[in-house]
Amino acid sequence: NAGVTQTPKFRVLKTGQSMTLLCAQDMNHEYMYWYRQDPGMGLRLIHYSVGEGTTAKGEVPDGYNVSRLKKQNFLLGLESAAPSQTSVYFCASSTWGELFFGSGTQLSVL
């Protein structure tokens, strides 16, 4: 039972480069989320989705875009990476209750 799978686990980018983080869940959950976690800041919601084909902004959406073309997948894109986007990124999914998290992507932007 895979649960929530994130790829890649680690990535180093140069300022201005772009990349896509992939999240896949096999629990048939409607809701999916992208968070970033930084020391002293806790978990902050970037974007979320309440169902296939929907996306919405969270607390810190600037510099990120998302897509949910299939119910099981939620993609997070960085069009032009900045050092301020150095962070650990977590994807999560849920029904109406608790969130299930992936193992995270550690991203460094130089």
Partner 1 sequence: EDQVTQSPEALRLQEGESSSLNCSYTVSGLRGLFWYRQDPGKGPEFLFTLYSAGEEKEKERLKATLTKKESFLHITAPKPEDSATYLCAVQKGAGNNRKLIWGLGTSLAVNP
Please report, as ranges, the residues that interact with partner 1 according to CB under 8 A: 4, 31, 40-45, 50, 90, 92, 96-104
Report the nearest approach of partner 1 to the CB of residue 29 (Å): 13
Task: Indicate the residue among 11 and 17 with the shorter CB distance to partner 1.
Answer: 11
Task: Indicate the residue among 17 and 52 with the shorter CB distance to partner 1.
Answer: 52
Q: Which 3 state secondary structure label does DSSP give 75?
A: strand
Residue 39: phi and psi, rounded to 5, are: -55, 130
Q: Which residues pair with 12 in a beta bridge?
A: 108
Measured distance CA(30)–CA(52) in Å, rounded: 7
Report the nearest approach of partner 1 to the CB of residue 94 (Å): 9
